[in-house]
């Protein structure tokens, strides 16, 4: 489904899991190649030692890269989250932010590797930083992408 960046931002900010974690999408670029997200520490998203809960840190990132790629690639492509891993670097009680980007080079690589209907796993590294620009967590996301095959391309009548 096609959205405008403004509409998708509104939908994501009203999505119950994000409301519950305190996650807020603050910006989606008009060309779908960049998204900003933030989370302030609240009583409901802190862990047992009073810092950001790891699950909430991860939820800041999920599923934004998949959504950006779906908008950028269009209906001719299947796009799914495949896997993710999070490395916790530094605990923080401060507001955290992340900038997720899909580059022109990422898109070229995906299209080149899926041109004949092959599946491709695109890897992204996303950093979460606090207000002091200290690195809080690093997340590796693997996104499955495949160009859909149409019956006419497969020789079917």
Residue 31 lies in a domain: yes
What's the domain count of the chain? 1
Q: Report yes or no on 154 lying in a domain.
A: no
Q: Each residue of 2-29: pLDDT tens digit?
A: 789 999 999 999 999 999 899 999 999 9
CATH number for the domain spanning 84: value is 3.10.129.10
Q: Which domain holds residue 87?
A: 5-148
133: in domain: yes
Q: Considering the domain boundaries, does residue 157 fall inside one?
A: no
User: In this structure, is residue 153 part of a structural domain?
Assistant: no
Neighbours of 146 (CB within 10 A): 17
CA distance 11 to 123: 26
49, part of any domain? yes
pLDDT tens digits, one per residue of 118-150: 999 999 999 999 999 999 999 999 999 999 986
């Amino acid at each position: 489904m096609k959205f405008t960046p403004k509409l998708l931002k509104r939908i994501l900010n009203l999505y119950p899991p994000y409301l519950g974690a305190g996650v807020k999408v603050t910006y989606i670029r008009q060309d779908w190649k960049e998204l900003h997200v933030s989370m302030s520490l609240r009583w409901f998203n802190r862990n047992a030692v009073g810092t950001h809960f790891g699950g909430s840190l991860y939820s800041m990132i999920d599923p934004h890269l998949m959504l950006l790629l779906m908008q950028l690639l269009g209906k001719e492509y299947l796009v799914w989250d495949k896997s993710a891993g999070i490395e916790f670097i530094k605990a923080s009680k401060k507001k955290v932010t992340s900038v997720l980007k899909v580059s022109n080079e990422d898109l070229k690589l995906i299209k080149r590797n899926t041109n004949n209907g092959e599946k491709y796993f695109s890897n992204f590294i996303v950093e979460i930083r606090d207000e002091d620009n200290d690195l809080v967590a690093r997340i590796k996301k693997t996104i499955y992408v495949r160009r859909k095959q149409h019956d006419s391309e497969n020789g079917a009548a």
